[in-house]
Chains A and B, each alone.
Chain A
Amino acid sequence: MDVVVCLKQVVDPELPVRDFAVDPGTQRQVREGRPLVISTYDENALEVALQLKDASGAKVKVLTLGPAAAVSEAIRLALAMGADEAIVVDDPRAPELSGAEKACTLAAAIRRIGSADLILTGCESADWAERVVAPLLAEDLGAACVTFVSRVEAGDGAPVVRRLVEDGYHLVEVRLPAVLSVTSDESNRPRLPKVKDIMAAKRKPVQTWSPADLTRSSARDPGAGVEVRGVVVPERTSRCEFLTGEPAEQVTALAQRLRDQKLL
């Protein structure tokens, strides 16, 4: 089985609040000087793929869209964790693209890869959380789509996937090819790379493609429909007020304030 995992590199979601900033020109998060990591659920997707590799010898390719210079860390980690090869679609504009635009480019790249039985993505990205890439990929590729998957069991027949829902899960049999969006769960906690694999990762094949080399599906205009008008960092303020007067007056005033806030 051939598995393609789409990985997105994002600014570390655990960045200190102080370092979070929005570029007013692009309305996107400032990336310069910030640590970049693989988006959280994408790591779970990679883990699900690697479990398929362990269980049934699937071949795992990782696919990422971004400025090639910036994504090497993410690629290196994915290869060290056990992916067989990597494809980078080198697009310096990638961080500014919408989910729909990205899905269109990724679908074109997957068509160029040729064989892809399962395409895995995170269920949402750690920065924009649009949740559109998996369904749009499926539509573009004419593949089945299951969202919020935690686990895939590949037997002799069609794979059976576990789809998490509130208070339980669905077991769904999928026909291939299929696009699965993966959520996190105890069973797909991303593995640590072995030191030997970290060393071997340096020798694994990484292909870099230009978006110009890809044939996007002509049926749709992915840019249309969504425009980001503005992004702001929520401000948190705290106010401290001293109540004056005799203790009895202070208590009355405090009680009144608490009632005003509907806390009493």
Chain B
Amino acid sequence: MDPLVPTREIYWNIPAFGVVIMYLLAAASVAVFGHGVYQHFRMWRRGQPVDRLTPIWPRLRSVLLHVAAHGRLLAERVPGIYHLALFWGFAFLLVGTMVVFVQADLRLPIMRGSFYLYFQSLALDLMGAAATAGVAAAMVMRYVFKSPRLRRGILSDGVILWFLGAILLTGFLVEGLRIAGTRDPWGPWSPVGYQISVLSGVVEMSSTAIRGSHAVLWWVHFVLSMVFVAYIPRSKLFHLLLAPVNVYLRPLSDVGSPRLVDFEKVERFGAFAFSELTWKDLFDLDVCTECGRCTAACPANTTGKLLSPMEVVLDLRDEMARTGGVSGPVLAGGVVQAEALWGCTTCLACMEACPVFIEHVPKIVEMRRYLAMEEAVVPDLMGEALRSLEARGHPFRGAGIARTAWTAGIDVKSLPRGEAAEWLLWVGCAAALNERNHSTLRALVRVLHAAGVDLAILGDEETCTGDPARAMGNEYLFQTLARQTIETLDRYAVKKIVTACPHCYNTFKHTYPQMGGRYEVWHHAQLLAHLVETGRIAPTEPMDSIVAFHDPCYLGRHNGEYAAPRRVLRAIPGVRAVEMSRCRENGFCCGAGGGLYWSEDRTGQRINHARTDQAVASGAQIVATACPFCMLMIEDGVAARETVVRPLDVAELLDRSIGGSR
């Protein structure tokens, strides 16, 4: 070794036969690791096919953003930062180990010179320190602050953290003792190790003691690392490998929607067994890190319902591990309780919160499908809604009013009357058949007419798009209704649709194209924003109100549209916009999604009451929204809470500001 070229001796103090044992142990560890991965791989392969490998570039970009840069993890600042330290710390240490491998085994002399000093010594030491700090912070979070969302795996997490801590600590000690033992002239480039070597001098360790303790710690460090590797696929550490892959595999559009069922091909409907979920669904289960962010975000769980999205995933995961994914009890209503499945509003708060992009909602709906189509057992009110959909083409039993009742006093073109128009205004049952929403519809038509938009309605020929049936798991009824709607739309050669209902919007946009129904579809908030920004509507009358926008889940999280309704509000003079504690990506469901408009919501607090409390706390005088279901739920919440907060649709607000309502 040239003493002027910085490097260090590898396997100092380790005899040749020790190196042989080391290789044998490493091989054993990798074999055990590989066996563990294969066991899981076999289970994932039992799932149904789904294409998630392409397109490559947007997927890689998302890996950069959410793995390398910890995009979603940083949504919770403190845990995000310490996980970042842990992640990059260990990533650097892994690269450092690779460098040693290249130098020692491939005999390529790369571990030298300034690369050795800056990377292999300085950077690795600092990153090791960062990882140590991360481990300490993770322990403090669990055992000192007792973070409520980290309820699960509190013991196994401890084992993992002590493991990581011990590997880091022994690593530093081995390094320090080597620096001391070899009187390494480049020692100060490894600041932590160097301090340990200084310490060994202070306590006056003899060179025999240094050699002896170094040998012991070197073996402890090595064996711990190898056990750690073997343990990875057998614990939540598996996410080290799987999470980046799962981020790559994330859904790029139509997030959170269940698969379209081909009734010609399927033998059994919904998820009875693991093989009836997709391979991605099964892969998801093994990615979970038990961080609890999903459950903490879940509107059902936070209001005291049985549903916990994390427990759904973990119950399925544990059952898959127990049975090898082969058979076992029925998933829907067995492994996961029916009450939990029926508690989901399909709002996607869980999926948006998940740092590793697990898809909870499609699994829940797939299990509902089993209950709804195979067992035909659904909660009573949902059953009545389904029967009404079947008999009347709308889910509102007892509505007793005509679909066109809202048009009283205003002039709207009608396609069935033979009038043609550029746009179809798709009204939606929730708006047409609930009187509260009639003023929204009238306001919308007034504003669109004022902007010169040429529109017509389908009147009595409009029937439900099928969204509620789909959310309740009755895909068969959904497809019946969808085919009927597509047939009607095609009969009138409809090209452009604007709708006041985010549920209808979502169905038109994502599901109908899979069934051959392709239309240009806009949500009314998007069209209103466009009209305001292109100067076709000029809101002039000041509103002078504090307004908070409640994000409908099927406009926001399901379709990523947070901006358009806020742009409309911003255009209205005098509106002072505030946000509720939970808004945008983290918005809180009104409680009606997933077909839960037809539920009694008797357990715990009502979701719409909780949302109303959040609205009141924001200091808003008006809660603006853009969904007929949200409107009904918030109206109900406001009435129950006897508050002065008023819910209004963005169309109603805009209408007032152009002087339309008088």
Contacts and interface: CB of A to CB of B under 8 A. Distances in A.
Given A189-B380, A194-B375, A16 B391 contact: no
A18 B401 CA distance: 8
25 contacts: A12-B391, A14-B388, A14-B398, A14-B400, A15-B400, A16-B399, A16-B400, A16-B405, A18-B402, A37-B391, A77-B390, A190-B387, A192-B376, A192-B383, A192-B387, A194-B374, A194-B376, A195-B269, A195-B373, A195-B374, A195-B376, A195-B474, A195-B476, A197-B376, A198-B476
Contacts, number: 51
Contact of A14 (B269, B390, B397): B397
Nearest to B380: A189
B376 A193 contact: yes
A194 B373 contact: yes
Which of B372, B387, B397, B474 is packed against the most chain A CB atoms within 10 Å?
B387
A17 B388 CA distance: 17
B641 interface: no
A191 B376 contact: yes
Contacts of A196: 373-374
A194 B475 CA distance: 12
Given A17-B401, A189-B383, A192-B386, 9 more contacts: A16-B399, A19-B402, A37-B391, A191-B376, A192-B372, A192-B387, A194-B376, A196-B373, A197-B376
6 tightest A-B CB contacts, nearest first: A16-B402, A195-B373, A194-B376, A192-B376, A195-B476, A18-B402
A175 B383 CA distance: 35
A88 B402 CA distance: 32
A198 B405 CA distance: 34
Which of B269, B373, B374 is packed against the most chain A CB atoms within 10 Å?
B373
Interface residues of A, number: 20
B410 to A, nearest CB: 17
Interface in A106-137: none
Given A14-B400, A195-B476, A35 B392 contact: yes
B71 to A, nearest CB: 41
A32 to B, nearest CB: 14
B399 A14 contact: yes
B356 interface: no
Contacts of B476: 195, 198
Interface string B201-226: 00000000000000000000000000
Contacts of A77: 390
Interface residues of B, number: 26
Interface in A175-208: 189-198
A233 to B, nearest CB: 14
A79 to B, nearest CB: 14
A239 B363 CA distance: 55
Interface string B42-82: 00000000000000000000000000000000000000000
Interface string A75-95: 001000000000000000000
B610 interface: no
Nearest to B270: A195
B173 interface: no
Interface in B369-420: 372-378, 380, 383, 386-388, 390-392, 397-402, 405
B397 to A, nearest CB: 7
Contacts of B390: 77
A196 B392 CA distance: 22
B650 to A, nearest CB: 29
Contacts of B388: 14
A40 to B, nearest CB: 11
Contacts of B402: 16, 18-19
Interface string A4-45: 000000001011111100000000000000010100000000
A195 B476 CA distance: 7
Contacts of B376: 191-195, 197
Contacts of A37: 391
Nearest to A37: B391
A19 B405 CA distance: 12
Contacts of A15: 400
A12 B390 CA distance: 12
Interface string B143-171: 00000000000000000000000000000
B321 to A, nearest CB: 31
A17 B405 CA distance: 11
Contacts of A194: 373-376
A190 B383 CA distance: 9
B573 to A, nearest CB: 35
Given A195-B269, A198-B476, A16 B401 contact: yes
Contacts of A16: 399-402, 405
A35 B373 contact: no
Given A192-B387, A195-B373, A198-B476, A14 B392 contact: yes
Contacts of A195: 263, 269, 373-374, 376, 474, 476
A71 to B, nearest CB: 14
A197 B373 CA distance: 10
Nearest to B396: A14
A77 B386 CA distance: 13
Nearest to B460: A19
Given A17-B400, A198-B476, A35 B391 contact: yes
A143 to B, nearest CB: 31
Contact of A192 (B378, B399, B405): B378
Contacts of B375: 194
Nearest to A38: B391
A112 B207 CA distance: 110
A77 B391 CA distance: 10
Contacts of A191: 376
A79 B399 CA distance: 28
B365 to A, nearest CB: 15
A18 B402 CA distance: 7
A239 to B, nearest CB: 19
Nearest to A82: B376
Nearest to A193: B376
B297 to A, nearest CB: 32
Contacts of B387: 190, 192
Contacts of B269: 195
A203 B378 CA distance: 26
A192 to B, nearest CB: 4
Nearest to A77: B390
B392 A12 contact: yes
Nearest to B373: A195
Contacts of A189: 380, 383
Interface in B344-383: 372-378, 380, 383
Nearest to A73: B391
A17 B401 CA distance: 7
A19 B390 CA distance: 19
Nearest to A15: B400
Contacts of B374: 194-196
A197 B398 CA distance: 27
Nearest to A36: B391
B382 to A, nearest CB: 9
Contacts of A190: 387
A35 B393 CA distance: 10
B506 to A, nearest CB: 23
B7 to A, nearest CB: 71
Contacts of A193: 376
A192 B373 CA distance: 9
A104 B372 CA distance: 40
A10 to B, nearest CB: 11
Contacts of B386: 192
A11 to B, nearest CB: 11
